[in-house]
Amino acid sequence: MQNNIMAKAEEAIAAAAKAQEAAELSQFTVNNLWILVAAAMVFIMHLGFAALESGFVQRKNVVNILFKNSMIIAIGLLTYCLCGFNLMYPGFAEDSSGFFAFAGFGLTVPEGGMTSAYADYTYWSDFIFQAMFAATGATIVSGAVAERIKLVPFLIFATLFVAISYPITGSWKWGGGWLDQLGFYDFAGSTLVHSVGGWAALACIILLGPRTGKYTSKGIRAIPGHSMPLAAIGVFLLWFGWFGFNGGSVLSADPALTSLVFTTTSIAAAAGAVGAFVMSYGMFRSYDLSMVLNGILGGLVGITAGADIMSITDALIIGFIAGLIIPLSVTMFDKLKLDDPVGATSVHLVCGIWGTLAVAIFGDCDGCGSLVAQLTGIAAIGAFTFAFAFILFLIIKVTLGVRVSEEEEEIGLDIGEHELAAYG
């Protein structure tokens, strides 16, 4: 009888253990699924960028943008596979200074199996989610240098930038490197992704010079984009994708965190639209669609660094200020004769810095995100990225050349580089 009962009790323990395992597998499955769905949403951001940038350039340079952005996502995925992932998540050695390490070329499933390396998702989920982020930096540059850059030199720049520079600075924080140890906080990449793209864009447009006829003795000539519907489609798709960008950066489907992040992200985007509306009306007395669209993006970039640690009111303020910044920043870059046809530097660099600083101002994460840490991160990543991009682009400039001829610029890159008009 006692043996009988003992057997029953042990049967119960075994059954409970089995149920526990089943519950944990289910939890793992839902967490992993969210990372994959989020990766697909981040992928759609590449369509968002392609549409936005196409819409904001002239009709004669549209094929060129679409070609560049199609190749960037392709090259970005392949180089991240080849070396980027292992540069960004190298597993710094214990005594490492956390500046640089490299886990080797190519991808190999860890020894323990593809579901062994992480608590909440598989090796491949980690790779594909991060890989979708990687090309974003180069895509940001693509818009800023549009309408005058040579195709192949740009693709070479983009390849090396995505393969080397982006993952190295990324490793400093997300790879567990020195900035992470310092307490620098950047939840989903206001600095690591957006300002990195923005710094590279800045370096390139300095070296490339403005579009012919943009800055004349008579003043600044407005060169409006050729399709506002395309631009608007781009911005809405970017907002949609941002739910995956920020929401997936929770790195699990944790209900409290993901739902907070969806909310802060949305509220910041909405407040960005209103901020840009107010400031652009104040500055220009007009209802400026491109400012409102960029205001939405500014709000999204601004909230990205701290989307998981902000209250709704914080998110509203951060987004609203980002929206206010956009018209000011666009005007400032134009005054500096830094020609950026799509406003990428204002959106990604300026609002990226703002969002990273906002963590120090509003954020509340134990022992991290101090003003010193945030400024150090902004400065270090900015200095490295700007220097890398500047030197690389300079080398390409003096060797291959980076700028199309004035005649080609005049007839447009679509015919000049691709012998194809965007519209028939």
Tell me which residues in 139-168 interact with its own copies (CB under 8 A). 151
CB of residue 370 to its own copies, shortest distance in Å: 26
Q: Based on CB atoms, which residue is closest to its own copies, 20 or 405? A: 20
Name, in order, each residue with C-beta under 8 angstroms of 39's C-beta and a sequence gap of 6 or more: 125, 128, 129, 131, 132, 244, 248
Among 50, 138, 200, 349, binds its own copies (CB under 8 A): 50
Point out which span in 2-10, 334-342, 366-374, 402-410 binds its own copies (CB under 8 A).
Answer: 2-10
CA geometry: angle 42, 44, 49, nearest 5 deg: 100
Interacting residues of 180 by C-beta distance below 8 A, sequence separation 6+: 98, 172, 173, 174
Contact 227, 55 (CB under 8 A): yes
Asked if 71 interacts with its own copies (CB under 8 A), we say yes
Q: How far is CA 202 from the centre of its chain?
A: 15
- Among 87, 146, 235, 350, the residue binding its own copies under the rule CB under 8 A is 235
Residue 375: CB minimum distance to its own copies, A: 31
CA distances from 231 to 179, 223, 279, 342 (A): 36, 15, 20, 10
CA distance 413 to 208: 15
Alpha carbons within 13 A on the beta-carbon side of 47: 11
The reply on whether position 388 binds its own copies by CB under 8 A is: no
The interface mask with its own copies, positions 16-45, x = CB under 8 A, is xxxxx-xxxxxxxxxxxxxxxx-xxx-xx-
* 278 near its own copies, judged by CB under 8 A: no
List the interface residues with its own copies, window 297-356 (CB under 8 A): 312-313, 316
Residue 31 · residue 214 · CB < 8 Å: no
Tokens of 158: 């983009």
Member of 62, 168, 297, 325 binding its own copies (CB under 8 A): 62
Residue in 184, 181, 174 with CA at minimum distance from that of residue 359? 184
Is residue 119 a contact point for its own copies (CB under 8 A)? no
Q: In the complex, what is the shortest distance from the CB of residue 328 to its own copies, in angstroms, rounded to a whole number?
A: 19
Residue 87 touches its own copies, criterion: CB under 8 A = no
47 binds its own copies (CB under 8 A): yes
> Which of 51/200 has CB closer to its own copies?
51
- Among 52, 88, 208, 292, which residue interacts with its own copies (rule: CB under 8 A)? 292
Q: Based on CB atoms, which residue is closest to its own copies, 90 or 247? A: 247
Q: Which of 93, 103, 128, 377 binds its own copies (CB under 8 A)?
A: 128
Interface with its own copies includes 245 (CB under 8 A)?
no
Q: Which is nearer to its own copies, 132 or 353 (CB)?
A: 132
From the list 76-84, 94-102, 138-146, 335-343, the region that binds its own copies by CB under 8 A is 76-84
Question: Which of residues 117, 228, 328, 365 is near its own copies by CB under 8 A?
Answer: 228
CA nearest 151: which of 422, 396, 424? Answer: 396
Q: Residue 278: helix, strand or coil by DSSP? A: helix
Cα Rg of the chain, angstroms: 23
Least Å distance, CB 1 to its own copies, is: 6
Of 49-57, 325-333, 338-346, 350-358, the segment contacting its own copies by CB under 8 A is 49-57
233, HSE (Cβ side, Cα atoms, 13 Å): 12
Among 134, 200, 274, 322, binds its own copies (CB under 8 A): 274
Total number of residues binding its own copies (CB under 8 A)?
124
Shortest Å distance, C-beta 50 to its own copies: 6
Which residues are registered as beta bridge partners of 165?
Answer: none
> Is residue 120 within 8 Å of 251, Cβ to Cβ?
yes
Q: How far is the CB of 387 from its own copies (least distance, A)?
A: 29
Which position among 153, 167, 225, 369 is part of the footprint of its own copies (CB under 8 A)?
Answer: 225
CB hemisphere CA count around 263 (13 angstroms):
13
Q: What is the DSSP string of 18-76?
A: HHHHHHHHHHHHHHHHHHHHHHHHHHHHHHHHHHHHHHHS-GGGHHHHHHHHHHHHHHH
Piece of the chain touching its own copies by CB under 8 A; list 3-11, 141-149, 345-353, 356-364: 3-11
